[in-house]
Structures are given as C-alpha cells and as structure tokens.
Amino acid sequence: MPQIETWSRLPAAIRDHLADRMRDRNITLNDLNQLRLWIESKPNVPEGPWYKDFGSFKLCGEGKYPKTFLLASQAATGEKL
C-alpha cells in the first residue's frame, strides 16, 4: 500500500485545487491541524479511491494523492480510512 504524499511533493495542479477547496469549504486552522497530524503519521492508503472523514470535513484521494476536500454532509466514494 502506498503512503499519502506530503504537501511539498504534490503536483502543483493538485496543490492548487486543494487550496481552492480549502477556501470553498471553509476548512479551519483546527481542521488543518488534524489533517497535518494525520499526514505526519505517514498513513498507508489504498491504490484506488479512498476518503478520510475528519468529522467537520472529508479528504478524498486516490492512491498516494489527496484529491479534494468535501463538506461533512457531502457523500464520499472509495474506501473509508
């Protein structure tokens, strides 16, 4: 299983998209801290689609790349982590 990629190693297009979604979804500093701690734990992620529910938002990805943020009320697809 791959490990989630760190922010600095993400392709620019993915970083830009995630930054836009953070603003659109009103992701707070507390939310980002939860996300940071999770990523720093170097979690393994499936090769295919997955999502991690943080309570106030969801992070969706595929393989080692996070792809987007969803609101807590939005449905996510893929394997729940």
Average pLDDT over residues 10-35: 92
Asked if residue 31 has pLDDT above 90, the reply is: yes
H or E element that contains 17: helix 12-24
Task: Show me where the domains of the chain are located.
Answer: 7-73
The reported pTM is 0.88
Residue 57: is its pLDDT beyond 90? yes
Nearest alpha carbon to residue 47 among 71, 58, 63, 70? 63
